[in-house]
Each structure stands twice: as C-alpha cells, then as structure tokens.
Amino acid sequence: MELSLASLLSVALGIGLAAAAGFRIFVPLLVAGIAARFDVLPLTEGFQWLASTPALLTLATAAIFEVLAYYIPGVDHALDVIAGPAAIGAGVVASASVMSDIPQAVMWPVAIIAGGGIAGLTKGSTALLRAKSGVMTAGLANPVVATVETVGATGIAILAVVVPLLCLAGVVALLYWATKKTGRLLFGRNRDARAQSP
C-alpha cells in the first residue's frame, strides 16, 4: 500500500494536534473543529461532529474552564494527574479525526500509537516541568508555566492545520529537547561528572 503526500500530511497534522493535546486537552480539538467548520480542514468520516455547533460550544466551554483551572494553585497539580490519561485519549481522537486520506486499518493503529503516544509524552513532560517549577519556586512560577502551555497548545494546533510538516518537525525537536531535560531531571545533571569520580 502506497501512501500519498496527502496521507503523509494528514498524519503530520494528526500528530501535531495530538502533541497539542498533551498541553491542553480541549484546545486542539476546538481548533480542529473550527478549521473544519470553515472548510479549511477535512475530517475523517465519523468525526464530522467536531464541526457541529453543539460540539464547538462544548469544546470552547471546556477549553476555557481547563485553561482557567491551571491558574489555581493545587488544582493545577490535580489536573495534571487527571489529564494524563485524558490527554492520551484526546491525542488519539485529535489525530484520528484528521487522517481522512488513510484506510481505517492503518489510521487507528497510527492514531493510537503515534497520536496517543505523542500526547502522553507531551503531557508527561509538562507535568514534570510543572512539578519542578512548583518545588523550585513554591508554585509562584506555575502561572507562567500554565500560560506557556496554553500558548503552546494553541500555537501547535494552528501550526498543525496551516503547515503540518513544519509542525511535525517542530514537535520532534520539542520532544527531543523535553526528553533530554526529563532525563537530566530524573537522573541528575552531572551524570558524566559522577562517572569520572573515583
């Protein structure tokens, strides 16, 4: 089976939206729904409901509450715990909803593995960053982290719709950086220095 350029673009778009779901669950679904409503983005069969008025109103309301909740101390950490599995689910839905040029037998495994996986990695990285900022600044930097996450979710989702391949390259670079930072956080900064010590 050969994949066309349109198929590859839809996979890149799906992965970009899934990465944004790791920052904020409802924002990329809202962006995809709005783009589909204005005929900028074709949706996969069975996902046209994303562009419906009730879905857009529900997603907009949920996105507003989600964004605002991350500015409340304590609630932000509780949301990180709850949002982990939800982000994976949103990543699967976001990626599957836009893979319109791909056969169902290929779409679902790609949506689950790539979409859910990238959303989980993004969510895990941001949760670690929030925890570290909470410890280092007694929670004072968490509103800054929340703002960066919201801007990141919105920016990545829009970029995924407009230029999916560029978005995919940016997501790969972001995940590479986040993985290195997470490794340093979990295993220490001076791993090389400790290895050289007698």
The whole-angstrom separation of Cα 110 and Cα 96 is 8
- Range of weakest confidence among 65-74, 107-116, 152-161, 180-189: 180-189
Structural element, H or E, at residue 67: helix 53-69
At 21-32, the pLDDT tens digits run: 999 999 999 999
Residue identified by tokens 């779409």 is 107
Domain boundaries in the chain?
Answer: 5-196
pLDDT score, position 138: 83
98 in Cβ contact with 110 (< 8 Å): no
The whole-angstrom separation of Cα 155 and Cα 82 is 23
Q: What average pLDDT is seen over the chain? A: 87
Mean pLDDT for 96-124 is 91
Amino acid identity, position 60: A
More confident residue, 2 or 155: 155
At 70-96, the pLDDT tens digits run: 998 888 888 888 888 999 999 999 999
Mean pLDDT for 40-55 is 94
More confident residue, 192 or 135: 135
